[in-house]
Amino acid sequence: MVPIAFIGLGHMGLPMARNLLRAGYALKVFDLVRSAVDTLAGEGAVAADSAADAIDQAKVVISMLPASRHVEGLYLGDAGLLAQLPAGTLVIECSTIAPEAARKVHAAARERGIALLDAPVSGGTGGAAAGTLTFMVGGEAEALEKARPMLAAMGKNIFHAGPEGAGQVAKVCNNQVLAVQMIATAEAMAMGVANGLEPAVLAEIMRQSSGGNWTLEKYNPWPGVMENAPASNGYSGGFMAELMAKDLGLAQETASHSGNNAPMGALALQLYRLLLKQGKGKQDFSVIQQLFVE
Ligand code: NAD
């Protein structure tokens, strides 16, 4: 199996890399946080001291970083990885970033004869751990076919969204819907409970009725309703509110780029910014529940 460099071992990257290891791939891993590297080294990966060290000998590079600036910083410029990788390498970039930033990195890769896919994911940390992520892929079909066995080790649904950047467009559309659903669910939970309903009873009624949605199925924001949801664990782990605010900002940029109106997304962004001002940016995005109960 091809040797892989995996860069970015946070909430998502670490369990994704772990699934590649379990599938038998040889991994060299790097993160700015040494403890994450050590964890995977303890499970059979080779620890790297830098991103440049990680890509030495790699035929495939996978990255899972927070935002556009981290991805551009890693790949572009004279010291960037694209300047060091040999032609023929496959890069699978899984972070959620601006479609424009993805296209910029694609263009630089193409110039160097490197095949690159933008392959953001959906499914949360639970999906990353279970290997059931959804990949939304932008780039050449041929590159996707090469990537498919590795994506299949980390995910269940693999969609070819379209050409360069299309994966990111699909991802920002999806996350705008997710944020709006989360906020609508949180405000309804608060209203129902304030009017005397048991949270678990209300959650189950809505889940099985026309208000049912992904947050009610998998990620209820009310503490104690779902044992494994971040809300029942002090809103720790999961998907940080500051990353959701980033994605909603990307959605607004994308809408404005194409002249679309996205008023629900705009309101969701305002509410997440309010949450960030309250110092809750590092908590899971379902902590938006607290806007409606305090
Ligand atoms: P995270 O902040 O937990 O992890 C990012 C990791 O990247 C950190 O460990 C950080 O140290 C590392 N990093 C940053 N710059 C680096 C560099 N130059 N070199 C090496 N490592 C570097 O974030 P996450 O929750 O794992 O999310 C990663 C991406 O996936 C984001 O774009 C996010 O929007 C997206 N995403 C997250 C979720 C989720 O549920 N957490 C779901 C879908 C998509």
Determine the distance separating the centroid of ligand 1 and the alpha carbon of 225, expressed in angstroms: 27
Last residue of a domain, one of 162, 191, 225: 162
Kindly tell me if the per-residue pLDDT of 283 is higher than 80: yes
- Interface predicted TM-score of the whole assembly (ipTM), two decimals: 0.99
pLDDT at 246: 97
Q: Are strands 121-122 and 133-138 parallel, antiparallel or unpaired?
A: antiparallel
Nearest to 57 by CA among 82, 24, 85, 16: 85
Last residue of a domain, one of 162, 186, 207: 162
66 and 38 together in one domain: yes
Average pLDDT on 179-202 reads 98
Instruction: State how far the alpha carbon of 164 is from the alpha carbons of 6, 7, 42, 100, in Å.
Output: 21, 21, 36, 10
pLDDT at 288: 98
Q: What is the CATH number of the domain that holds 211?
A: 1.10.1040.10
Range of the domain at 259: 169-292
The encoded tokens of residue 96 equal 């959620």
Query: Which residue, by CA, sits nearest to atom 12 of ligand 1?
Result: 8
35 and 133 together in one domain: yes
Question: Considering Cα of 83, then 88, then 90, then 93, what sign does the dihedral take?
Answer: positive
Kindly tell me if the per-residue pLDDT of 294 is higher than 70: no
Give dist(CA 254, CA 106) in Å, integer.
18
pLDDT above 90 coverage of the chain, percent:
99
pLDDT digits (tens, 9 = 90+) for 126-165: 999 999 999 999 999 999 999 999 999 999 999 999 999 9
Amino acid (one-letter) located at 2 = V
Mean of the per-residue pLDDT values of the chain: 97
pLDDT at 1: 83
Confirm or reject: Cβ of 96 under 6 Å from ligand 1: yes
pLDDT at 137: 98
Per DSSP, the three-state class of 173 is helix
Q: What is the CATH number of the domain that holds 117?
A: 3.40.50.720
Confirm or reject: Cβ of 15 under 6 Å from ligand 1: no
257 and 140 together in one domain: no
171 is catalytic: yes
Number of domains in the chain: 2
Query: Which residue, by CA, sits nearest to atom 14 of ligand 1?
Result: 65
Average pLDDT on 31-48 reads 98
The encoded tokens of residue 125 equal 């940390």
130 and 33 together in one domain: yes
106 and 84 together in one domain: yes
Atom from ligand 1 closest to the CA of residue 9: 9
Residues 6+ apart with CB under 8 A from 72: 101, 104, 105
Q: Which of 171, 218, 246, 282 is catalytic?
A: 171
Burial of 35 (0-12, 13-18, 19+ CB in 10 A): exposed
30 and 157 together in one domain: yes
Determine the distance separating the centroid of ligand 1 and the alpha carbon of 9, expressed in angstroms: 7
pLDDT digits (tens, 9 = 90+) for 219-271: 999 999 999 999 999 999 899 999 999 999 999 999 999 999 999 999 999 99
Last residue of a domain, one of 162, 189, 224: 162
pLDDT digits (tens, 9 = 90+) for 77-117: 999 999 999 999 999 999 999 999 999 999 999 999 999 99
